[in-house]
Chain A
Amino acid sequence: MTTRIERWLLDTNVWLFGLRRDEQFQACAELLYLVGAFSVVIPLQILKELNANFTKEEARVFHQLVNDYPNLVELNWKPAPGERVKYFESRGCRKGDAIIAAHAEACKVHLIVTENRQFLQTITDLNARILSPADALASVKH
């Protein structure tokens, strides 16, 4: 029996706060350890942001890890469509957040998880839901 699990996009802040095991953002770490209850899509913008925060060795370990588990984590190297980036910018997103929204749309993710409050409040017309890590965690646990 195969159960279809949802595809989620975890924003860079979720990855980094989770890996730091930052006490202020405990839900981020808890969520990373629940990958499998949902699968994760990592689009190009987030890959670039993670790489900017990692050393070469950390980036190597990260890429090795995600490449070893393609059923859990999908890397998407396609640039976000420029016209959709412009569209989300016109809806009040900063350019970087507009790129994430355009990626989420192109990758057909079910959910974006982010601690970014501005992002949570600005985007209202995306097919994907947007939740904070705490709310996403609660949705997995129930």
Chain B
Amino acid sequence: MQSIDDLAREITALPPSEQEVLLDKVAQLNFQKGLTDLSEKYRERLAREGRLNDGSEQLWTELHRTREEIAERDYPN
């Protein structure tokens, strides 16, 4: 496997525009990894609470209720 130094040398040899694309791609992949970790955590908790397989009607009811509660609190008129 390539060492970090070799990899860094290879990257810095790229034209700036390609370096930018590469760094954007790395950020995107890291973001995806973070999303996967969050998703796992969220799903595990819902499964523990027996809510992971709640029907979509129930989910919609909860989403609408939360939205309107926050809306009423922030914009009471």
On A, residues with C-beta under 8 Å from B are 1-2, 12-13, 16-22, 24-25, 29, 32-33, 35-36, 45, 48-49, 52-55, 57-58, 61-62, 64-65, 68-69, 71-73, 79, 82, 85, 94-99
> Which residues of the partner chain B approach A95 to less than 8 Å between Cβ atoms?
68, 71-72, 75
> Which residues of the partner chain A approach B45 to less than 8 Å between Cβ atoms?
55, 58
- Bound-state Cα–Cα, A73 to B59, Å: 25
- Bound-state Cα–Cα, A64 to B56, Å: 29
- Bound-state Cα–Cα, A24 to B35, Å: 19
Distance in Å: Cβ of A76 to nearest Cβ of chain B: 15
Q: Is the CB of A33 within 8 A of B75?
A: no
Distance in Å: Cβ of A38 to nearest Cβ of chain B: 11
- Bound-state Cα–Cα, A12 to B65, Å: 13
Contact of A49 among B17, B30, B38, B70 (CB under 8 A): B70
**In the complex, residue of chain A having the shortest beta-carbon distance to the beta carbon of B67:** A96
Contact of B43 among A20, A52, A64, A65 (CB under 8 A): A20
- Bound-state Cα–Cα, A94 to B34, Å: 33
**In the complex, residue of chain A having the shortest beta-carbon distance to the beta carbon of B52:** A20
Q: Is the CB of A13 within 8 A of B63?
A: yes
> Which residues of the partner chain A approach B68 to less than 8 Å between Cβ atoms?
94-96
B18-35 interface code vs A (CB 8 A; 1 in, 0 out): 001000110110111011
Contact of A65 among B24, B35, B60, B71 (CB under 8 A): B35
B residues 52-77 with Cβ under 8 Å of A?
52, 56, 59-60, 63-64, 66-68, 70-72, 74-75
Q: Is the CB of B46 within 8 A of A33?
A: no
